């Protein structure tokens, strides 16, 4: 398998962490790219030019981090990363909260970086910040769901929180959210998280 990623992408980080946690690291060739430079031919694989993209051993090309992560997890069922039954929906629910938070974080950053002149939509940015905060508050309320065996849900949440630290450190998401902060402090120590830290 081949996984196209960029070192700073939190979406690609999810897939990289899953590959490591699933015990598949040796089977996944990591290909680092910068999607913003539009490498030649990359859009033949992924029409929207984003990372991550996974090319499976049978040549199937998958994108959207949630789908890539689920594919990797199903290659290593014994890992328990995508459990069966009710636990699966709990894992996917956590991942959905994390993905919503990540999307809102990235939207706010992209609007701030790419706006032209005075055209920054503060209203749009404020709406993203609101989404991030409500997602963080929900995770704090449901922090007990993060305990137990690692699933795609915890990985999604861990990568989304790490992205807040990476790009929005001044916002201090930990304030008023002690349970989430305590959970993340431990999760961030996992070798899979340490090995995929974004560049300084
Ligand atoms: N919904 C996508 C989002 C992926 C995404 O936005 N990746 C960013 C890097 S963090 C990217 O490749 N951006 C390049 C672009 O938008 O052209 C996923 O979950 O995979």
Residues 22, 14: Cα–Cα separation, whole Å = 12
Tell whether pTM > 0.85: yes
pLDDT given for residue 61 in this prediction: 98
Whether 7 and 70 map to the same domain: the answer is yes
Q: Which of 35, 63, 68, 107 to mutate to test the pocket of ligand 1 (most atoms within 8 A of CB)?
A: 35
Both structure tokens of 172: 């201090």
Q: What is the pLDDT of residue 44?
A: 97
Q: Locate tokens 């629910």: which residue? A: 93
Q: Is 200 inside any structural domain? A: no
What ligand 1 atom has the least distance to the C-alpha of 110? Answer: 16
Interval 69-93: pLDDT, tens: 999 999 999 999 999 999 999 999 9
Q: Are residues 90 and 177 in the same domain?
A: yes
Q: CB–CB of 191/133 below 8 Å?
A: no
Nearest ligand 1 atom, CA 49: 17
pLDDT of residue 32: 98
Handedness of CA 10, 15, 18, 24 (dihedral sign): negative
Domain boundary among 79, 113, 136: 79
Residues 114 and 71 in one domain: no
Assigned token pair, 188: 């961030």
Backbone region of residue 38 per phi and psi (left: phi > 0; alpha: psi in -120 to 50; beta: other values): left
Residues contacting ligand 1 via CB (< 6 Å): 9, 11, 35-36, 49-52, 64-65, 106
Tell me the three state secondary structure of residue 113. Answer: helix
Say if residues 5 and 33 touch (Cβ distance below 8 Å).
yes
Residues of the chain with pLDDT below 70 are none
Parent domain of 145: 85-190
């Amino acid at each position: 398998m081949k996984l196209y990623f960029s070192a700073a992408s939190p979406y690609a980080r999810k897939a990289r962490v899953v590959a490591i946690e699933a015990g598949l690291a040796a089977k996944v060739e990591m290909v680092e790219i910068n999607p913003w430079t539009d490498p030649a031919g990359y859009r033949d694989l992924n029409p929207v030019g984003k990372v991550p993209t996974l090319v499976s051993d049978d040549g199937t090309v998958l994108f959207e981090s949630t789908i890539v992560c689920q594919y990797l997890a199903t290659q290593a069922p014994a890992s328990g990363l995508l459990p069966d039954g009710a636990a699966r929906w709990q894992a996917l629910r956590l991942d959905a909260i994390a993905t919503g938070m990540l999307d809102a974080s990235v939207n706010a950053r992209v609007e701030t970086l790419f706006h032209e002149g005075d055209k920054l939509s503060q209203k749009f940015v404020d709406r993203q910040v609101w989404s991030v905060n409500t997602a963080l508050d929900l995770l704090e309320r449901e922090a007990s769901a993060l305990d137990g065996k690692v699933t795609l849900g915890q990985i999604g949440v861990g990568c989304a929180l790490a992205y807040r630290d990476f790009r929005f450190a001044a916002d201090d998401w930990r304030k008023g959210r002690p349970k989430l902060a305590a959970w993340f402090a431990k999760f961030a120590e996992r070798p899979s998280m340490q090995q995929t830290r974004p560049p300084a």
